[in-house]
Chain A
């Protein structure tokens, strides 16, 4: 129990907003941080989505592929935890970044924050609600293809307009 609290506090330590003093020479460092965030987002989501699709396809086709589907199922939990952990860090880091730069708030940033919040809330619903209906609702909303595309488009727009 105590170890979990200590681990939680340790992880929270990474979310504390430290001011970044960067002069013109350090502009590359700021850009690199942005690309690291994008890379972390890709690592957190693409393998998880691909794994789910392959597992479902393997179980649906039956016979020989069922074994592959079961093997993928055995690593499902750790990959899911990794997906939740990295996305939660990304969400809170993104929100902190947004609050720190709230002076330069534009429509793309606000839209991005809204979509991220919807994805986060639906993910929390999926993880922590116990009733069947709310679980199905969370699963359907969290996996909405349109929302995922919208999120990716807003991230790209945010990068393109971020230089200003």
Chain B
């Protein structure tokens, strides 16, 4: 059975390295999380995309409706 003998100093160095690595790793994870939140298919991403598509469709329909109304002859109320 192999036995790893480590004195205190070595252990501290290792711990420091791990701590630094942890901060970097956490930062990277946070960045990935931010990206994932806006990625296509995510909840917020879908909301933004569907909202935009809905706004575009609404604009086109509203424009068509306004054009149709302008073309329709006005009926006199007599």
Given contacts A147-B59, A164-B31, whether A154 and B52 have CB atoms under 8 Å apart is yes
The residues of B that contact A54 with a CB separation of less than 8 Å are none
Interface flags for B27-44 (1: CB within 8 Å of A; 0: not) read 000010011001110101
Q: Which residues of A contact B48 (CB under 8 A)?
A: 107-108, 111, 157
Q: Which residue of A lies closest to B35 (CB)?
A: A164
Size of B's binding interface in residues, CB under 8 A: 27
Could you tell me the distance in whole angstroms from the C-beta of A97 to the nearest C-beta in chain B? 17
Q: Are A150 and B52 in contact (CB under 8 A)?
A: yes
Taking a contact as CB atoms under 8 Å apart, the answer to whether A111 and B63 are in contact is: no
B45 touches A106 (CB 8 A): yes
User: Which residues does chain A contribute within 8 Å of B56, judged by CB atoms?
Assistant: 114-115, 118, 147
> In the assembled complex, which residues on chain B have CB atoms less than 8 Å from the CB atom of A150?
52, 55
> Which residues of A, 38-65, contact B by the 8 Å Cβ criterion?
none
Q: In the complex the two chains form, is A110's CB within 8 Å of B49's CB?
A: yes
A81 → chain B, closest Cβ, in Å?
Answer: 25
Instruction: Tell me whether B64 is interfacial, beta carbon within 8 Å.
Output: yes
In the assembled complex, A105 has its CB within 8 A of some CB on chain B:
yes
Q: Which of A97-116 contact B (CB under 8 A)?
A: 104-108, 110-111, 114-115
- How would residues 118 to 150 of chain A score, 1 for a CB under 8 Å from any chain B CB and 0 otherwise? 100000000000000100110011001011001
Chain B residues whose C-beta falls within 8 Å of the C-beta of A110 in the assembled complex: 40, 49
Identify 10 residue pairs between A and B in the complex whose beta-carbon atoms are under 8 Å apart, listed by A's number: A108-B38, A110-B40, A114-B53, A133-B67, A137-B63, A137-B64, A146-B59, A147-B56, A157-B48, A161-B34
Chain B contacts to A: CB under 8 angstroms: 31, 34-35, 38-40, 42, 44-46, 48-49, 51-53, 55-56, 58-60, 62-64, 66-67, 70-71
